[in-house]
Amino acid sequence: MSTSTPPWPRLRNIGSVQLMTQLGTELGLTVQQCLENTGLDVMALADGQAQVEAAQELQVVANLLESLPEQPLLGLLAGRRYQLSRYGIWGYALLSSASLGEALEMGLRYIDLTFAFCRIKAREEASGHWLVVDDSWIAPELRRFLLLRDSSAITRIQRELTGLRQPFKSVQLALPAPPAALLSAYTEAYGCTPQFDAAETLLELDPELLARGLPGDNPAVRQACEQQCHQLLQRYRVRDGLAGRVRELLLEGGAALPDMPSVAARLHLTERTLRRRLSDEQTSFRQLQEETREALAEELLRVPGLSLDEVAQRLGYGEVSSFVHAFRRWKGISPRRFARQLRN
């Protein structure tokens, strides 16, 4: 496993564990084999609203890979199960968007409500528009499965939104080419034959397609869905223990976020002890700062009349450009565009 603090929320809906357990049982495993070492049982699977820890879902992935080594297409088999209806309010928010482009922005804004472990971001360059699927945070032994699962799940979602078998102009996968006998399964999963051995995984968007209206366009439903997404995301980001206390102190910072020495002093701890104890809780002061800045940025951009300079200063950025860069990293769009969408 990677020693870096993972960028995904610790808590997530149990729906993905349900889907992967179903896949495992259809391929001959027992529920117990799928859930081994997770602390979950068949009764837990019955509650569709339950939350699980990311580590529990990753253990399910590890169990499938260990028990089904003869299934080279396991990631693709999993990805096709992730239809929009499985994503709850996040899926309804996308379906009620005015256009595919708006659905994309909405989806990336609340990406932490999905089941993805890969980090998914938008990239716009002179050469084209892309979705970047980054698997660098994932443990090497789980990376191939999750890269294929998450990227093919994105394709499944795009197909539902567009009605097109090939929703991307091209697909590049940062994976070795499969045996020739398996290539057709990749073409079926993505709607086109991917380019393999790429430097990074890229799904190329069609700008004309992004402007296309969606049949479910409903501003009232979209606004209600976004409000629920926002509230749900805040609940997922809640932390317990020392990490929770640190986050509270960061949120209470006033004119600017406090630094690590200030927080450690408030907690009557040395910086070294604070760092060690946060590491024991599988996080870091920097990660908590990032989470807090992202959450505060969303709230501050909702305030009419507050300039980007003021928002950047409140979040502890010396330059507006640094804040804009960070916000694009979090949300895939600029803060100005995000604020405009909130007020439309």
What pTM does this model have? 0.73
Range 180-183, long-range pairs (CB < 8 A, 24+ positions): 182/72, 182/73
Residues 64 and 30: beta-carbon distance below 8 Å: no
pLDDT attached to residue 2: 41
pLDDT attached to residue 90: 94
pLDDT attached to residue 195: 98
pLDDT attached to residue 237: 66
What string of pLDDT tens digits covers the 344 residues of the chain?
344 557 787 788 899 999 999 999 999 999 999 999 999 988 888 887 788 989 999 999 999 999 999 999 999 999 999 999 889 889 999 999 999 999 999 999 899 899 999 999 999 888 889 999 999 989 999 999 999 999 999 999 999 999 999 999 999 999 999 999 999 999 999 999 999 999 999 999 999 999 999 999 999 998 889 888 888 877 766 666 788 888 878 877 655 678 899 999 989 999 999 999 988 776 889 888 888 888 788 878 877 777 888 888 878 788 899 999 988 888 778 888 888 876 66
Structure tokens of 138?
Answer: 């994932």
Residue 295, CB half-sphere, CA atoms under 13 Å: how many?
23
Query: Which residues neighbour 173 within 8 Å (Cβ) at sequence distance 6 or greater?
Result: 147, 148, 151, 186, 194, 195, 196, 198, 201
pLDDT attached to residue 150: 98
Burial string for 282-294 (b: 16+ CB within 10 Å, else e) reads ebbbebbbbbbbb
* Cα–Cα separations (whole angstroms), residue 3 to 7, 52, 120, 279, 284: 12, 21, 20, 10, 11
| Beta-ladder partners of 13 | 51
The continuous run of DSSP H or E covering 122 comes out as strand 119-125
